[in-house]
Chain A
């Protein structure tokens, strides 16, 4: 158990440029504190996130992945977030077999939801901490 409490997960976050990245900016402007475990990659739209990235991240030993986009109906590109959602549902079914499903999160964060962004990151970090380090990391490192 001790190992788990010292465990600082490495989490990758894909944020869409128009909503979630701006929401993360607002969290900053509002000084909402959250754990420093997430590294962010900005993409123009959540529909840009190729499920392969998530698989690659997890096989590379990254402990968790967050994909965040505009709320349903608010997509800057009209319907990109729906595509992201469908892809994630499909991906979940694959990840479930490898016990990785719980390490992937899809969240909607708008540009005005700074507080929510901080809460999402806090929540994701806590959940991954509970799960412990990515078990597949070592397997693939052999």
Chain B
């Protein structure tokens, strides 16, 4: 038996944790700390190094920080043709997202969605990436900044390092690995993780003993202690700050939970690393104390958040969902493990979050509403959690084999220094201050410097990505006049027609994810037996940056004209390898994927021979198809440089203004007679109490003044034709019919309260109204003093019919309760709620203030015992409710009953869905292309969306999205050309009889019968490549390129 505890043997050893390794440059540290163990050789080198080399660089936008936000911002700008200089202080890009195992609510593999983006950043011709680099000063002004950057030497030449890892094998130094949050060790010379970008080993000066072992084994001669740090002067026009966040360390505060004292108490990030297949336990959930399997695991929520005294006052936004995800994944992996989450309010506020939470409960995740007071360790190493039962008020204890602390997103401790360097202000908590937290979240307090991601406040991944796109849009304004980079055309496409297929097969081990469950070497050998396979190899990570280099080299060396990668999934990684082919002068459609991870190694993990056999078959099928692959052409069309914005609410207005700043002609279409949307109905905004009319007036004036924006009021869309780059819409307006041609579109069609008729007595008394109607009374100032006000939250929400959370209702009810209390201080106000979901910046603080200082009473009810409204003959309203906290039945008389109504997407969603051919989900909210990393894109190219058309949103999130959508929509406009799909249908005119079957089945009206010849003709730009025509054609004349009959049948016959 293998000692399982080897995984954690180091955990309590006294190994120095290098954490703040960038606080001091090594040379300076060396001078300050002439410790004896450093060999004289290094001293000399350090003296050389202190004379850092200086260089100058020029770019258009500087992006500081290369996590998911920084990467998205950089790509959005680079795709528009401007030059980005990107700084990252650690040795790799990717940030925190790559450390996560999976992402909620879709359970996508986190690294698998992030890694292709990382490679895209690395290979983008307009992005210059510098790792180990920190900004030291920022002078100048918007449009003309000069930044000084210090780039610490890693003593490895990035141009020479091949990433082979021989150096790490011989390195005698072991340090605790911060990437695994201390759960593993790594060498003194290291890469953070196998898919790191750039894939260059680095030496941390603090850990290096100067033995020189690495230098001696490095065949590439990449290691040099003479390599200098650099002092770089960078000139740019705008700056985006995407420096991320820290996680709360419960060592000084929240010590009562035993972290650092009891081995089986870990943080949620450590738990993510345990779940991760490339983490310290390769995805096995094991107890740190003895490496055994835990029978029970508990989570404690709000560790470091929602407490002024013991951490930070704000809500960290993501912890409820990540704990739910971790617990649900645990349950999926092993239903025998008992999982319990101790929580205060379940903040499942986002799109599909509530449904995800409901599903977790169904799976057996146990939720206990309590904030545990303390924990202690039992003799067997398990942890006893003490908490108070909310019903009986008894103090209870529950044993957990492992305890996970859901630690909060907190401001980076670097922020004060960074704020000073960048000349931007930091807020009370230590996050960077926005121009306005509700109406201008992306702007910093310095012109020309913009924020993206969690350095402004806690956020989940899609909100960060949307904000990053928004920052990209804003950063363009100052550089719009600059000349764009002419794209370097890819190498000329090789003509492979008539050539015998020469196939290269690359089999990926994916660490142990594939090779751990099937024999990759055997699969590669078997593939090599095919007569057309001239090169076949198995390697560690085929998606890594250095593997792309290898694929290119092998294409060259063996004159390959087809490439197969057998690895994960074409959905996540297909594009990455296709780009590699294009870089080698091969048509991207000469690539074929064999999915041997998701469809094989991961689902047949207990039968190595059968999994290996299946992988061989899958590769064989890919080979069979590959032989028949043909290069496909993608039609290029010019783009009409106009954007259509649908909806004139705040999201539509902000999107239009962001486009206007980028000097793009924009048309805003609004159904009603004025701009402003739902804001026109509101009295004030949560959580700043700002009047929305000020904002609407300001935005309207700016739109009026813009020479790029045209507004069409009282106008509806009637018909749409065309495709990305060249759409044409027919509109009906006050002056009759209008036509408009445009290149891309933003849908900002908003949302509204559902019809409450019949719910909680709505409609039967003037004293029963919705929150929006109450706002109307505030605006009109016509409310009579009510003695008692009852608000019912989640009215019509989170039930079977409409299972989602309305996301904004809690905030609105608290704000309106405050307004009522301010007007009528003697009135009693009750808010009946299920969970209080105030998750945004300053929201928790606002809520705490209303409860503590204004004495608004909150009563929690349960989803199974909803409040009951009775109306007496005299019209008196009584609300009956069972208080979940005190477990008692209450009868509240209500002079005013306010319903916080469920919300849903605009009714126009259905029409827009048909027009733009985009999917709509529950509640008429559109479905994004990818829940995490493409939150603003829709399934149809050239169509984007923002604001509450996506899901109900508070203003700050809607505005960040609006500016982000503007950035997305501007990309095709600024590129000027779009490429069509290569997988389209064609008709063999010789055999077509003109029966018209294909015309009938085509959902895009892309096929017509030629008037003269009578045979079918495909409009390739309209064709989306579904292949319905090819299956319908009785004579086999309709063919789907890339999925022709012979290709599909060849796969079938090859399946073994």
Contacts and interface: CB of A to CB of B under 8 A. Distances in A.
Interface of A: 10, 12, 17, 21-22, 24-34, 36, 39-45, 47-51, 53, 56-57, 60, 62, 74, 76-80, 83, 87, 111-112, 114-115, 118
Interface stretch (B34-42, B529-537, B594-602): B594-602
B605 A39 contact: no
Given A39-B621, A47-B1027, A83-B1028, A29 B1056 contact: no
B605 A33 contact: yes
Contacts of A76: 919, 939, 1026
B617 A39 contact: yes
A16 to B, nearest CB: 9
A41 B1054 CA distance: 11
Contact of B1026 (A12, A25, A47): A47
Given A25-B571, A25-B598, A77 B1026 contact: yes
B1030 A50 contact: yes
A77 B1003 contact: yes
Contacts, number: 138
Contact of B1051 (A21, A41, A111, A112): A41
Contacts of A43: 1027, 1043, 1048
B73 interface: no
Contact of A34 (B603, B613, B1043, B1056): B603
A53 B1040 contact: no
A70 B88 CA distance: 41
Contacts of A78: 917, 1003
B606 interface: yes
Interface of B: 102, 106-109, 112, 329, 332-333, 569-572, 595, 597-600, 602-607, 610-611, 613-614, 617-618, 621, 917, 919, 939, 983, 1001, 1003-1004, 1024-1028, 1030-1032, 1040, 1043, 1045, 1048-1049, 1051-1053, 1055-1056
5 contacts: A29-B598, A32-B603, A44-B983, A76-B919, A83-B1031
A47 B1001 contact: yes
A22 B571 contact: yes
Nearest to A18: B939
B1047 to A, nearest CB: 10
B1025 A44 contact: yes
A94 B11 CA distance: 66
Nearest to B620: A39
A29 B939 contact: no
Contacts of B1030: 48, 50
A36 B1031 CA distance: 28
Contacts of A10: 1055-1056
Given A29-B598, A42-B570, A111-B106, 18 more contacts: A10-B1056, A24-B599, A25-B569, A25-B571, A27-B598, A27-B603, A29-B602, A40-B595, A41-B621, A41-B1048, A45-B1027, A47-B1027, A48-B1027, A53-B1048, A76-B1026, A77-B1004, A80-B1026, A83-B1032
Given A12-B1052, A87-B1031, A36 B607 contact: yes
A49 B1031 contact: yes
A50 B107 contact: no
B100 to A, nearest CB: 13
A76 B918 CA distance: 8
B429 to A, nearest CB: 35
A49 to B, nearest CB: 6
B1052 A57 contact: yes
Contacts of A114: 107
A29 B103 CA distance: 11
B404 to A, nearest CB: 20
Given A27-B598, A28-B597, A36-B604, A48 B1056 contact: no
A47 B1028 contact: yes
B617 A17 contact: no
Contacts of B1027: 43-45, 47-48
Contacts of A79: 1003
B776 to A, nearest CB: 37
A108 B163 CA distance: 44
Of the listed residues A31, A36, A57, the one surrounded by the most CB atoms of chain B closer than 10 A to its CB is A36
B107 A29 contact: yes
B874 to A, nearest CB: 48
Nearest to B1033: A50
B1026 A45 contact: yes
A44 B1055 CA distance: 19
A79 B329 CA distance: 34
7 tightest CB-CB pairs across the interface, nearest first? A28-B598, A48-B1027, A77-B1026, A47-B1028, A45-B1026, A28-B602, A39-B1055
B517 to A, nearest CB: 10
Contacts of A44: 983, 1025-1027, 1040, 1043
A64 B546 CA distance: 41
Nearest to A22: B571
A87 B1040 CA distance: 18
A77 B1024 CA distance: 8
A29 B1048 contact: no
Contacts of B1043: 43-44, 48
A104 to B, nearest CB: 14
Nearest to B110: A29
A94 B1043 CA distance: 25
A16 B939 CA distance: 15
